Amino acid sequence: MDGEENLIQGAARGESSAFGQLYDLYQPRIYRFVLIKVGQREEAEDLTHQVFLNAWQNMKGYKSRGFPFSSWLYRIARNKVIDFYRTKRESISIDRVDPEIFLAPAIQQFSFDKNIEAEGLARAIQELEPNYQDVVIMRFVEDLTVAETAAALKKSQGSVKVIQHRAIKKLKEILKTD
């Protein structure tokens, strides 16, 4: 964490190499979050690029406020996704979504049965309302803490816990009907 703080301070001073290292560290996670939300690789790549461009342009004004740097990036990413849907107004077919995007890199080598389960879970997550999706993805796909998720979503930790509880309950309902 101390090395990360040095990178953040360097990036805030305008050091592109420091920001480049932060990019390398966080780009896969932000990309996966965006990809799950939009369902199309090309759109996710563009939005991820916009997230990091926005972060670079605003690094001088970044303040930690006791939350990890990733929370700030997830907040930017979430806002970019919201803007994307406001301007695009196009629905994405779940059939076009690769179910493997929902798996963390360390667990992508499941058997066929596990991939079928992941596909069902991916479909169920897509049926959740956006706030539920955000919390489920951040908590269980990206493995963020409640505090990190709360910071990214600008919500209280209690609110995140309630949303998480409701989202899991809703996922169970959806998965029972499939």
Q: Which domains does the chain possess? A: 2-177 (1.10.1740.10)
Indicate the pLDDT class of residue 107, thresholds 50, 70 and 90: very low
CB proximity list for 29: less than 8 A, separation 6 or greater: 70, 142
Element (DSSP H or E) covering residue 82 = helix 69-88
**pLDDT at 84 exceeding the cut of 80:** yes
Give the model confidence (pLDDT) of 34-48 as tens digits: 998 888 899 999 999
Q: Look at residue 110 in the predicted model and tell me its pLDDT.
A: 44
Q: Look at residue 113 in the predicted model and tell me its pLDDT.
A: 47
pTM confidence score: 0.69
Tokens describing residue 91: 């629905």
Give the model confidence (pLDDT) of 160-174 as tens digits: 999 999 999 998 888
Identify which has the larger pLDDT, 143 or 52. 52
Maximum Cα interatomic distance, the chain, rounded to a whole number of Å: 53
